[in-house]
Amino acid sequence: MKNILSAILLFLVIETNYCNAQTINYEESLILAQEKSKSLSKILLIRIDSEFSNENLKKEISNPDIIKILNKDFINYRGNSSEIELSRYLRNFNISFFPCLLYFDVKGGLIFIDFGIYNQTNEFLETIKKVNVLNKEKSIIDYDDEYKAGKFDRYFLKNYIKKRMSLGITSNYFLIDKYIDFLEVPELSDYNEVLFILKAGPLAQGKAHRLISVNSKIIDSIYKTEPINVLKEIDETIITNTMNVAVKNKSFAWANAASNYTRLSWGKNYVQADLNATSKLISYYKAVKDTANFLRTASYFYDRYYLNISKDSADRRKIEDSKKINTSGIKGKMFFSYSNLPQPVAYELNNAAAYVIQTGTKNPFYISKALAWSKRALELQDVYGFYDTYAHLLYLSGYYKESEYNQQIAIDMAKKKKLPYEFLEKQLLKIKERTL
């Protein structure tokens, strides 16, 4: 009898271990996962999926060797990019590829960012090895604490900035302004020092940027020597940082600096230079809710650069945009990027029209402009949300029956795609009751 019981218990243990090895053990909440990572001294792995990804990219890891390692040596949590707790990571680390894998040390400091579905098991195992090696390095949390305590010199700042950059943190402008204070004047003419400062993303026309720009020959040399992808990343980081500071401080001066830098970055391509420079100002007006300047600037901007783009040209622009995705180092992976969303021209027109509605303007001039943008967006891309925008603008223009008709199309399309449509129905009721 004892032998039978022992055999049954052994079978249950083996069966339980076998079942556990077949799936990754995910914690019920992010907070619980963080607490277990700290208490058990294990690396925390957070997988973030996008709601826009196809089913192939949402599939679970099935390789038993990887599952065994993740369950034994890691604390795991899986969530969606729409979750508030996880969206913070997407903003802080500039994440746009999915699925995204974030590895954190026991102190809560980011170790490594990875993304995509590996086609080869060995590649994932190599990544895990790399994470374990990086985990032995100084935590970003320790760097943060030392900096806050004022314990830094030029060497600490350089290593701190490099650490942040390696983790995809691009908002290093405040650190590079402190770093440059430690440099001697001759060092501002050193190629590698200036390149490091540029890569750190100084604010356009900020302290660091002004000081290194004194020696224009070094800047020219860098822009003639470095690969185009490096230069684009430098420009994008500088512009993004400057825009973020502009919005945070509601400073038109910084927004204008970002706009002017954008214009210069396009060289002699004057059309694209003006388009992108003006686009930065429009983004700023929207962010700080400067309705008057948004409406005034947008009214000619979208007419000039978007309204008359043909469908063929819009489709070509989508293809060109997709080629700009930096795919270096991601061979052998499947992934989704927000750059893969369809028809950017149509979305730009629809979003501009929708924002005019949000401003609450009753000015028929601006409403008619927005109506034209919305109509063109629908001609370029048949999207249920676009019909909702168009219906709202038709209502504001007094075309009530046409508004009802297009709102019903939006509802029917949403139902067909099995998307939420209750809000659209409420809007339709308001249109019929003339209370929208």
What are the pLDDT digits (tens) for 167-203? 989 999 999 999 999 999 999 999 999 999 999 999 9
Residue 228: predicted pLDDT: 94
Residue 10 has pLDDT above 80, yes or no: no
Integer Cα distance of 243 and 238 in angstroms: 9
The stretch 299-324 carries a mean pLDDT of 74
Residue 7: predicted pLDDT: 44
- Please give the single-letter amino acid code of residue 18: Y
What six digits make up the tokens of 161? Answer: 């900035």
Residue 9 has pLDDT above 60, yes or no: no
The stretch 8-15 carries a mean pLDDT of 44
Integer Cα distance of 255 and 118 in angstroms: 40
Residue 11 has pLDDT above 80, yes or no: no
Per-residue exposure over 268-277, b if at least 16 CB sit within 10 Å of its own CB, e if not? eeeeebbbbb
Residue 4 has pLDDT above 50, yes or no: no
Residues 6+ apart with CB under 8 A from 267: 273
What six digits make up the tokens of 436? Answer: 């929208």
336 or 214: which carries more pLDDT confidence? 214
- Predicted TM-score of the model (pTM): 0.82
Residue 340: predicted pLDDT: 47
Dump pLDDT digits (tens) for 314-341: 766 654 554 444 444 444 555 555 544 4
Helix (H) or strand (E) holding 333: strand 333-334
Residue 318: predicted pLDDT: 55
> What is the full DSSP assignment across 223-267?
HHHS-HHHHHHHHHHHHHHHHHHHHHHT-HHHHHHHHHHHHHHTT
Q: Which residues pair with residue 45 across a beta bridge?
A: 76, 103
The stretch 222-251 carries a mean pLDDT of 95
Integer Cα distance of 217 and 225 in angstroms: 12
Residue 16: predicted pLDDT: 46
When mean pLDDT is compared across 179-188, 205-214, 330-339, 370-379, the lowest value belongs to 330-339
Dump pLDDT digits (tens) for 126-159: 999 999 999 999 999 999 999 999 999 999 999 9
Contact yes or no for 195/227 (Cβ under 8 A): no
Residues 6+ apart with CB under 8 A from 50: 57, 80, 81, 98, 99, 336, 338
Nearest to 202 by CA among 227, 222, 176: 176
Residue 368: predicted pLDDT: 96
**Domains, the chain, ordered by start:** 2-137 (3.40.30.10), 138-226 (no CATH)
Average pLDDT value for the chain: 87
The stretch 12-30 carries a mean pLDDT of 68
Contact yes or no for 91/85 (Cβ under 8 A): no
Residues 6+ apart with CB under 8 A from 426: none
Per-residue exposure over 75-89, b if at least 16 CB sit within 10 Å of its own CB, e if not? bbbbbebeeeebeeb
